[in-house]
Chain A
Amino acid sequence: MKYNENVQKKGFYFVLPTLIIYGIFLIYPMLSAFHYSFFKWNMISESKYVGLKHYVRMFGDRRFWNSYFTTFHFTLISIFIIIIFSFLLALLFQEKIMLKNLFQSSIFVPVILTMVAVAVVWQFMFQSTGVFSNIFLDIFGINIKWLTSKSVTPYSMILVNVWKITGYYMIIFIAGLLNIPSIFYEAAIVDGSSYFQRLFYITLPLMKNTFILVFVSGVIFSFAAFPQQYIMTEGGPARSTEVLALLIYKQAFEFTKFGYSSAISVAFFITLLVFSLIQFKIFKSESNY
């Protein structure tokens, strides 16, 4: 008992530096943001208590709701496509195919690139004389306004996001597939099952937790998107890609409305908290086989 306590104490000392750093750079700013959401403050002047004024304003602010729905649209469609693509790729790489490692690595490479670099390169490709535009014009005869159409640009953003992070979730799905005991498949094959029967009656049910994990973590990741929109569109055209993180940045650092920006941050935090709680619940749930 004493030994365990001693080990725990030592363990605590080991994690203490991380806790301090987390406290200073994450917990304290979060609490500060919550605090400042009740104040009018521009970084220089005396902060003035305004109660719930910023929250009331936020609920009636078209720009906030536009950003909120833009973020949801971006997140949910991105995640839907990413789950399908990454799962299909994971299934594909379960099979014996030529140059498997090369293809796997190629799909994973965008994950390790910084979003800033990715955004700059894609921005060039999306210009009206860029590679993407030329391909579509030459093959389909369509001049797509990738970054200058309110209806198209949100999907251009999704395309880049999908390209960037599909490889990451593909790896998670591969890990999930490897986790399924092969004995299930062997028994099913002996019983004469087809590939699709095995997929629908063994693989998909046993991958449930992996799917939920990918969904929740993907939502959290995509919901916090910022550099891509900041670099490629600055929220345009006509605010069609102004995601919440970008709006928070603009309100704080361009318009110096730190109080209002903090209120939006709190709404942002609560939304992500809901998804995080779901994730915690999933991690606690037990494997069902």
Chain B
Amino acid sequence: MKKLSIVVSMFFLLGNISFAKEIIRHIHWTQPPYDKIIMQTAKDFMAKNPNVEIKVILVADADMPTKVRTALTADGVDTFAMPNMQSPWFMANGTTAEIIPSAFGKSTVQEVVDMWLPGSIKKTGGFYEGKYYGIPHEMSNYAAWVNTAHMKAAGLDPEKDIPTTWQEFKLIGKILTKKNNGVITRNGFAINTKAAIFPFLILHTLMQQKGQDWSSEKGLHTSLSTKSGLEAFSTFTNWATKDGIFDPGLFDNEREGFGNGLTSQFLTGGTWYWGVLDGYSVKRNEVMPIKYPRFKDGKNIGGVAYGYCVFVAKKAKNKEMAWKWLNYLESHPEKYIVHGWFQPRKSLDKTLAAKYIPNYEVFGEEFEYAASIIATANFAELQDAVGAAVQRVLFEGTSNEDSLSMLKDDVENILEM
């Protein structure tokens, strides 16, 4: 009898606990100082909604998709953040719930979409095959960065001699490249070729500028057998193989290399790079971001736009509450912009972006022309194949034509065409 009463009491106690608070488990990547903002936002949300407990789980960005996949398999997550390059996989595999307008105080999805800058949900990876599944947490775009101190030392004028075409980019790269005994000791341009994603993203822009459509699987596949696709591809590989402005062996990480003055130009820095630069020896006043160069005869397209969206898991118990939490999480863009983090919510005072992000005019203007990254569940394999195609030319001596032809075979295998 005594045992039974204990069991009954425990049952009610546990029952009360589980009914007392609705728990929402949110996975986000860790990045100080933004962690503090997220934690504080969760606290504020809980204060406004005493029946809800937000458990924020901060994880390292590396291999985040695997961590989220594992959590989803075990029903251990309700909301999560994901970069636009990986998010299509989650949407394609039915792990995410569509936006619920009522959670935002709206009556249609379009009204929710209109809360953000035009096209920003697509560019940050919340849109897949005609449906909206995520809202933006961050949006950025690549600009070209140039070391103006190197330019001055080489007799160039950082005002007048800024490259606007790829031809000029190459010529200035040649002037800025330093050699010792025939070995490049300072690159005129650099990119991380070890990680396939970076060559993929640069090629993405070059292909789009050449009129190819890399925003779809079909367009990507078609581009590989076109003359302009070959021109875009060889423009990129020639920097290392023919133009002599890039030695991939000097260092891996171009952001680090640029920060330490080992390369004079690179193409993979967003607004956030100012903060990164502060950790290296090169000073802020020695560099500047510039718009991506264009082909003379090409389209007016800039560096890729990218970002993170936040999503509600399809298996979340209370999806409406989960969306309310995410809407609240993403309704404080002014807190992030102070640290240089751009959230494309319309409620953000535009003057704050100009105030807190140096050279925001470059990034801001380029957003409009930014290339949208392909939304495909096969992204990881496609970028790996593109990275391998670049490596074949750079390190194996394969011709651009042959490498593209092999890439085409790889793409057909991946897409099971």
Contact of B73 among A43, A141, A145 (CB under 8 A): A43
CB distance from B271 to the nearest CB of A (A): 27
- Please tell me if the beta carbons of A127 and B250 are within 8 angstroms of each other in the complex: yes
B 332-363 contacts with A by CB, 8 A: none
Name the residue on A nearest B378 (C-beta). A255
The residues of B that contact A123 with a CB separation of less than 8 Å are: 252
Measured between alpha carbons, how far is A153 from B181 in the docked complex, in Å? 22
Measured between alpha carbons, how far is A153 from B194 in the docked complex, in Å? 13
CB of B171 within 8 Å of the partner chain: no
Measured between alpha carbons, how far is A237 from B248 in the docked complex, in Å? 10
Measured between alpha carbons, how far is A77 from B93 in the docked complex, in Å? 43
The residues of B that contact A137 with a CB separation of less than 8 Å are: 181, 183
CB distance from B189 to the nearest CB of A (A): 15
CB of A238 within 8 Å of the partner chain: yes
- Please tell me if the beta carbons of B249 and A44 are within 8 angstroms of each other in the complex: no
The residues of B that contact A253 with a CB separation of less than 8 Å are: 63, 66
- Given A44-B93, A256-B89, are A128 and B184 neighbors across the interface (CB < 8 Å)? yes
CB of B324 within 8 Å of the partner chain: no
Measured between alpha carbons, how far is A149 from B241 in the docked complex, in Å? 12
- Given A149-B395, A238-B388, A254-B384, are A233 and B63 neighbors across the interface (CB < 8 Å)? no
Contact of B250 among A128, A254, A255 (CB under 8 A): A128
The residues of A that contact B252 with a CB separation of less than 8 Å are: 123
CB of B264 within 8 Å of the partner chain: no
Name the residue on A nearest B390 (C-beta). A238
CB distance from B336 to the nearest CB of A (A): 30
- Please tell me if the beta carbons of A44 and B391 are within 8 angstroms of each other in the complex: no
The residues of A that contact B391 with a CB separation of less than 8 Å are: 236-239
The residues of B that contact A43 with a CB separation of less than 8 Å are: 69-70, 73
Measured between alpha carbons, how far is A102 from B89 in the docked complex, in Å? 55
Measured between alpha carbons, how far is A136 from B72 in the docked complex, in Å? 51
B contacts with A, residue count (CB < 8 A): 34
Measured between alpha carbons, how far is A129 from B394 in the docked complex, in Å? 19
Name which of B185, B249, B250 has the most chain A CB atoms within 10 A of its CB.
B249
The residues of A that contact B249 with a CB separation of less than 8 Å are: 126-128, 133, 145-148
CB distance from B270 to the nearest CB of A (A): 23
- Please tell me if the beta carbons of A236 and B183 are within 8 angstroms of each other in the complex: no
B 247-261 contacts with A by CB, 8 A: 247-252
Name the residue on A nearest B187 (C-beta). A128
Name the residue on B nearest A255 (C-beta). B381
Measured between alpha carbons, how far is A253 from B63 in the docked complex, in Å? 8
Measured between alpha carbons, how far is A160 from B356 in the docked complex, in Å? 46
Contact of B395 among A128, A141, A236 (CB under 8 A): A236
CB of B165 within 8 Å of the partner chain: no
CB of A179 within 8 Å of the partner chain: no
- Given A236-B395, A237-B395, are A127 and B384 neighbors across the interface (CB < 8 Å)? no
- Please tell me if the beta carbons of B183 and A143 are within 8 angstroms of each other in the complex: yes
Measured between alpha carbons, how far is A52 from B160 in the docked complex, in Å? 63
- Please tell me if the beta carbons of A250 and B384 are within 8 angstroms of each other in the complex: yes
- Please tell me if the beta carbons of B185 and A129 are within 8 angstroms of each other in the complex: yes
- Please tell me if the beta carbons of B380 and A255 are within 8 angstroms of each other in the complex: yes
The residues of B that contact A143 with a CB separation of less than 8 Å are: 181-183
Interface 1/0s, chain B 37-76, versus A by CB < 8 A? 0000000000000000000000000010010011011000
CB of A276 within 8 Å of the partner chain: no
- Please tell me if the beta carbons of B384 and A129 are within 8 angstroms of each other in the complex: no
Measured between alpha carbons, how far is A42 from B194 in the docked complex, in Å? 26
Interface 1/0s, chain A 131-164, versus B by CB < 8 A? 0010001000101011111100100000000000
The residues of A that contact B394 with a CB separation of less than 8 Å are: 148, 237-238
Interface 1/0s, chain B 371-410, versus A by CB < 8 A? 0000000001100100010011011101000000000000
- Given A129-B250, A137-B183, A236-B193, are A44 and B69 neighbors across the interface (CB < 8 Å)? yes
CB of A6 within 8 Å of the partner chain: no
CB of A285 within 8 Å of the partner chain: no
- Given A127-B250, A128-B250, A150-B396, are A44 and B183 neighbors across the interface (CB < 8 Å)? no
- Please tell me if the beta carbons of B184 and A234 are within 8 angstroms of each other in the complex: no
CB of A45 within 8 Å of the partner chain: yes
The residues of A that contact B395 with a CB separation of less than 8 Å are: 148-150, 153, 236-238, 240
The residues of A that contact B381 with a CB separation of less than 8 Å are: 254-255
- Please tell me if the beta carbons of A42 and B396 are within 8 angstroms of each other in the complex: no
B 269-320 contacts with A by CB, 8 A: none
- Please tell me if the beta carbons of B195 and A234 are within 8 angstroms of each other in the complex: yes
CB of B327 within 8 Å of the partner chain: no
Interface, chain A (partner B; CB < 8 A): 42-45, 123, 126-129, 133, 137, 141, 143, 145-150, 153, 233-234, 236-240, 250, 253-256
Other A-B contacts than A133-B183, A237-B395, A255-B381, 8 sampled, CB-CB below 8 A, are: A45-B94, A143-B182, A148-B248, A148-B395, A236-B194, A237-B391, A239-B388, A255-B380
Interface, chain B (partner A; CB < 8 A): 63, 66, 69-70, 72-73, 89, 93-95, 181-185, 193-195, 247-252, 380-381, 384, 388, 391-392, 394-396, 398
Provide 29 A-B residue pairs closer than 8 Å at the C-beta atoms, listed in order of the A residue: A44-B69, A44-B94, A45-B93, A126-B249, A127-B249, A129-B183, A133-B183, A133-B249, A137-B183, A143-B181, A147-B249, A148-B248, A148-B394, A148-B395, A150-B395, A153-B395, A233-B194, A234-B194, A236-B391, A236-B395, A237-B193, A237-B391, A238-B395, A238-B396, A238-B398, A239-B388, A239-B391, A254-B381, A255-B384
